[in-house]
Amino acid sequence: MTTEAISAHDPSLAPFLEAALGRKAVDVVAIDVTELTSVADVFIICSGRSNRQVTAIAEYIRTHLKKRGLHPLNTEGIKEGHWALLDYGHVILHVFYDPVRRFYDIEGLWADARRIAVDTVAGGKPSPAEGGQEK
């Protein structure tokens, strides 16, 4: 699996990543699934440390992107706070409660997909899943 810079991939992903990071989502990973499925081009996967944080992250993503004129085709699981899914067509965001994320291992299911480095957009360090060090 390779990692490529976001700017070289698709700068239109920036608002999605900024929205996820706006409520302190952890372990943000972007996966290019263009070659593997027709469902979407990119999956953005992130976690919250509690059900409430998952709900807050998902609601913030929806509000932040709405202000930019981006509306989801569908959303699921936001109120429950275990696994929120926000479908924007070419980008699908998965916001997990961390234990649920480990259980379903979406990154493992898409192990053949290319990783997109999110640190260039976030202005920070890569997540542990991208080879960064957790503090």
pLDDT digits (tens, 9 = 90+) for 44-77: 999 999 999 999 999 999 999 999 999 999 999 9
Task: In whole angstroms, give the CA distance from residue 92 to residue 30.
Answer: 10
What's the alpha-carbon Rg for the chain, to the nearest Å? 13
- In 3-state terms, what secondary structure has residue 18? helix
- Amino acid code (one letter) for 48: G
92 Cβ neighbours under 8 A, 6+ residues apart: 39, 40, 42, 43, 44, 85, 86
Task: In whole angstroms, give the CA distance from residue 61 to residue 3.
Answer: 24
Domain ranges of the chain: 3-120
Residue with tokens 């275990």: 82
Q: Given a cut of 70, is residue 5 above it in pLDDT?
A: no
- Amino acid code (one letter) for 35: E
Question: What is the CATH superfamily name and number for domain 3-120?
Answer: Beta Polymerase, domain 2 (3.30.460.10)
pTM for the full predicted model: 0.82
Dihedral sign (CA 118, 120, 121, 126) = positive
